[in-house]
Structure 1
């Protein structure tokens, strides 16, 4: 008990529990990397085949997802993951910024009519639907484990995975709308919204406050996994 403030002392997970949580995070990160490698290969190949900027962008986002997950995997491969956390957060932040820049540039190019008109892609629709179902589960599992462990980088990476869910929804909507009505402008407009979200998350990850901004109610003082630098 904190006598001076009259507040209960926060007790984190014990050593055994920390080891379990760290092992879980490594498994979740490995699953995320594996899925995104497969996702990137399919999206890039299919995007090139049907001249779909949205699919190519989605594939490149998967590559960025892998770099983010790999940063967390690197952090938790060491004996002292906390010592590597700041570097991992920086890598995740740059991944968000890179994604925002790419999506913005490709959206503008598409809206200006500089890209080739995308053809219908059943494979792309199936891939987007699968990602929309799988990625939220991976994100939730990792965010839960990272939050209990008090790892800002694990929570930040879970938000990167969740962002892939938003992009999956955008991609799916764009492909379906384009197939049904030929409204090619719908996807790049929605993607610009994703770019704004990516920029915000990148800033929060850089400050080490991503879980406070998006994962917990209240201000930073109420967030167990975030502290001011």
Structure 2
């Protein structure tokens, strides 16, 4: 077999996948920050707790993308296994805290709307970012899962699941806004926000549990 026909170096392949996974997370970070800016602004302008809550979850996804960039970039630069695990533990801990804050914020926003019984307004910017997300999020989730599988990285695959959950939340918020707009069901908007809570809370629990289990002093063959 000639040199050109021989299989590529596994280390080179891993470096390439690390780089591509990192840039996937960079794209995720940029898009989620856009989601936060547009949805929270539109939600506050129209009084939509569902839009604001959706934006809060996008802020959590931004934190997830940022920590994943930090974690992948470290391995790409060749830091030791112990440092990789340490970064993974910190990243998961940050995510768990961000999810907890998001749950508290969503509950406050939804309950206050139930008390005031204030119907949400309608804003095409908010609807537009939700519709764009229906297309963008599945693509980001596929890429994260693909490179997570290539790298045998549970963290990347976990982040892909989080992105798919955001897709579910997008559908729920759209339905809630539609019912409030066309059927006059003011309660559909905060109800849609509350439907997001169990998924955000579960993700926070999972992230916290995984962070607790990570042992930077463990054998280099452990973790992912």
Both structures adopt the same fold (TM-score exceeding 0.5): yes
Instruction: Output aligned runs, 1:158-197, within 5 Å.
Output: 158-197=160-199
Q: Could you list the per-position Cα deviations for residues 153-185 of structure 1 after superposition, in whole angstroms to 9, with x for gaps in the alignment?
A: 222222232222122112211111111101122
Pairing partner for 1:103 from 106, 110, 115: 106
User: Is residue 40 of structure 1 aligned with residue 36 of structure 2?
Assistant: yes
Q: Is the 8 A contact 2:49 2:189 kept in 1?
A: no
Other structure's SS at 2:37 match: helix
Alignment CA distance shift 1:163-1:99 (3 Å): farther
CA contact (8 A) 1:142 1:154 kept: yes
Residues 89 and 156, structure 1, Cα contact 8 Å, conserved in 2:
no
Please report the TM-score for the alignment, with normalisation by the length of structure 1.
0.78
Which ranges of structure 2 fall in alignment gaps of 5 or more residues? 1-8, 212-221
Match of 1:124? 126
Equivalent residue, structure 1, for 2:27:
31
* 2:208 corresponding residue in structure 1: 206
Supply the distance in 2 between the matched residues of 1:117 and 1:192 (Cα, whole angstroms).
16
| TM-score, with structure 2 as normaliser | 0.79
Q: Return the match for 1:87 from 90, 93, 106.
A: 90
Q: Does 1:69 align with 2:71?
A: no
Alpha-carbon offset, residue 27 of structure 1: 1.0
Aligned residues: 199
For the Cα contact (< 8 Å) 1:128–1:172, is it kept in 2? yes
2:149 paired with 1:147? yes
How much is the aligned-residue C-alpha RMSD, in angstroms?
A: 2.3
CA distance in 2, matches of 1:132, 1:184: 24
Separation of aligned partners in 2, 1:124 and 1:46: 5
Contact 2:54 2:169 in 1 (8 A): yes
Q: CA deviation at 1:64?
A: 1.9
Please list the CA deviations of residues 127-148 of structure 1 after superposition, one character each: whole Å capped at 9, or x if unmatched: 1111122112201210221133
1:55 alignment partner, SS class: helix
Say whether the 8 Å CA contact 1:92–1:156 is kept in structure 2.
no
Q: Deviations over 1:49-70 (max 9, x none)?
A: 2222222222222222111110
Q: Name the SS for the 2:116 alignment partner.
A: coil
Structure with the larger RCO, 1 or 2 (CA within 8 Å, 6+ apart):
2
